[in-house]
Amino acid sequence: MPLLLDTCTLLWLSMDLAQLSPQASQAITTHANDLFVSSISALEISTKFVRGRLELPKDPAEWFRAVLKHHGVEQVPINFQIASQAGKLPPLHKDPFDRLIVATAWEYRMTIVTPDHQIRQYPDTEHLW
């Protein structure tokens, strides 16, 4: 089962494991060779860093690269199919980053690991927390 980590899940995996639910921690451990993150998470992390809403020990790009390598997470690029699908999603979530994460999960048939209740409202979206 491929798991798509949303941005906060990736942040917590790397900096605050106590924030992960027991089910999310277990799934990440069990599927350690099948972990993915949308490349849009790099933009979201950089944006929060620049706005002073996120502290990181190094430049966001360096941090992102190191975290993916350390945890064995592969990035999934955004393509036009994902971008188009995200634009057509029902307005259950206004955050464009999260809409792209939902569309990525649909495109690649992944389960989203997220605490975000708005993401979990999308029909036909596999999720766990």
* Radius of gyration over every alpha carbon of the chain, rounded to an integer in angstroms: 14
Q: Which ranges of 3-127 would DSSP assign to H, the alpha helix?
A: 7-15, 22-30, 40-50, 60-71, 80-88, 96-108
Q: How far apart are the first and last CA of the chain?
A: 15
Q: What is the pLDDT of residues 30-62, one digit of tens each?
A: 999 999 999 999 999 999 999 999 999 999 999
Q: Domains in the chain, start-ordered, CATH in brackets?
A: 3-128 (3.40.50.1010)
Burial class of residue 115, CB neighbours in 10 A (0-12, 13-18, 19+): middle
Enter the tokens of residue 68. Answer: 């993916």
Q: What is the pLDDT of residues 15-31, one digit of tens each?
A: 999 999 999 999 999 99
